[in-house]
Structure 1
Amino acid sequence: MGKLGEMANKAKQMAKGHPDQADKGVEGAERAIDERTGNKYDAQTDKAADAARRSYGSGTDGH
């Protein structure tokens, strides 16, 4: 596994240990992208945020 994969695994493990903080980060990133693109990719950012939350087992959907 390369460095990027190792970093992703570390981030996922950290998110699993702190799901509330991870949720805030995912929500902030989603909001920033939506603001910068004028919500042009809202459906895609929703899907990506949901996938990120599932990857660390968050029970919330951010909405």
Structure 2
Amino acid sequence: MAGLDDITNKAKEFLDSGAVKDALKSEQAEDISDKLLDGVADAANKVTGGKFEEQIDGARDAADGKIGNE
């Protein structure tokens, strides 16, 4: 599994790079993530009939805090 380990390590290095971290904290990433997360939350609320709206919104907000700049 040396090949898989090598790929995994290279992926970790890439994701830990400053350029990737800066991109995830950009205004563009914020706009895209907000639209995506809003759509997913709306779909989940529709499927569950709004029964878990508070939990879904909390999960959406937690994910939003990790991506973008707001």
Q: State whether residues 30 and 46 of structure 1, in contact with CA within 8 Å, keep that contact through their aligned partners in structure 2.
A: yes
Note the C-alpha offset of 1:49.
0.5
Are the structure 2 counterparts of residues 50 and 33 from structure 1 closer, same or farther at C-alpha, using a change threshold of 3 Å? same
TM-score if structure 1 supplies the norm length?
A: 0.65
Equivalent residues in 2 for 1:1-63 (5 A)? Answer: 13=21, 15-17=24-26, 18-59=29-70
Equivalent residue letter for 2:54: A
- Structure 2's unaligned 5+ residue stretches are 1-7
Size of the aligned set, in residue pairs, is 51
Greater share of helix = 2
| Rg larger in structure | 2
Equivalent residue letter for 2:52: Y
> Structure 1 segments of 4 or more deviating over 6 A?
none
Percent identity over the alignment? 31
TM-score if structure 2 supplies the norm length?
A: 0.59
2:68 and 2:45 mapped to 1: Cα distance? 24
2:51 and 2:69 mapped to 1: Cα distance? 26
